[in-house]
Structures are given as structure tokens and as C-alpha cells.
Amino acid sequence: MADLEWINRLLRKDNAITQKLVLSESMKLGGFFAKLISFSCDSWYWMVALLAIWLFGREPWRERAFLLALAIGFLAVGVLSIKYLVRRQRPEGEWGRVYRALDPHSFPSGHAARALCIALLVCFFGLGWAGFGLLVWAALVGWSRISLRLHFLVDVVAGWLIGAIAAGVTIMFYPVLQVLHGWILNIIAKVI
């Protein structure tokens, strides 16, 4: 049992810090902003937008959309696997019933992971202005998840770490993924 005491201390400290970052009920405008930021990182919005870019866009946007969608998809599998292994319950709260019902587990934050992965890949694509804006957005996504009582601070930090790793792996395999994208386009061209 002594081996687990450091984990219990960490979780107590995490809970105490998280409580200081939560928005009070009286902060209506802050709550609206936090909800808007949180929704902006929902995976289904991103996947629909990326599919539209891939279907109707031109190169290099099609390839970028493909790589982002692939990274987001693999990231989702990894995050959900960790969530079901760890099974840390979300902080108590009223907001986010859909999130709480579909995914009752808190560690790690999939939104934080996705946001940082997207931001880092956009930086890799050489879109500096957009990359910088998305790095700020990734920080705000993490804040929103804590302030709305959907995650603890450690969940968000772990999510950012996982997102950075996912972006790094995607970048490492970029040449292979480019070939895969070209191969898929060739198959589609032959079918159509």
C-alpha cells in the first residue's frame, strides 16, 4: 500500500489545483466561451470538415486533411484504450452530459490530445500563422475542459503529452503516409 501513497497524494493535489481552475456559476460569459472552445475540438466536427476538404479540396490541402484525419483517428483509439485501462472518473459536474454519458472516463483528455496534435501538425505543414493560432487554441481547449469540470489538470497535461507524441509519430511516418495517400487516390481514380 505504501507504493500507492504517492499516487494518492498526486491525485489529491491534482483535485485541489483543478478546483481552483473551475469556473464559478456566476461567470456566464466565461462559461459560454469555455463551452464554445470545448465544442470546437469535438472529433466529429473535425472529421466532417477534413472529409470535405479531402473530397473537394486541392493539393496540398487534400493530403494535409488525410494526414490530420489519420492522426485524429489513431489518436482516438489510443486515448480510448488508455481511458478504459485507467478508468478515472470525471470530476463531478452538471455540464457536458453527452460527454459524461458516452465517455465517463477522464484520463487522459482526448480533446487536449487532439487539439495539440492538430496544432503541431499544422505547424509542421508550414502554416506558421495558423499553427501559432492553433497552439493558443490548444491551450484554451485544455483550460475549457478543466473549467467546465470535465477533466482534472493531470488529464489535460497527459492529453497534451499524448497529442505531442501522436503528432511526432505522424511526422516521423510522413513519407510513408504520403505514399499511402497517393495509393488511395490512384485506387479511387481507377474505380471512378
Catalytic annotation, residues: 111, 151
| Interatomic CA distance for residues 97 and 102, integer angstroms | 8
Which one-letter DSSP state was computed for residue 59? T
Residue 66 cell numbers, joined: 488525410
For residue 17, the surrounding DSSP H or E stretch is helix 2-21
Residue 105 bridge partners (DSSP): 89
- Give CA separation, 85 vs 89, 106, 111, 121, in Å: 12, 11, 18, 27
DSSP 75-142: HHHHHHHHHHHH-PBPPS-SS-HHHHHH--B-SS-HHHHHHHHHHHHHHHTT-HHHHHHHHHHHHHHH
Inter-residue contact 108 to 162 (CB < 8 Å):
yes
DSSP 149-166: TS--HHHHHHHHHHHHHH
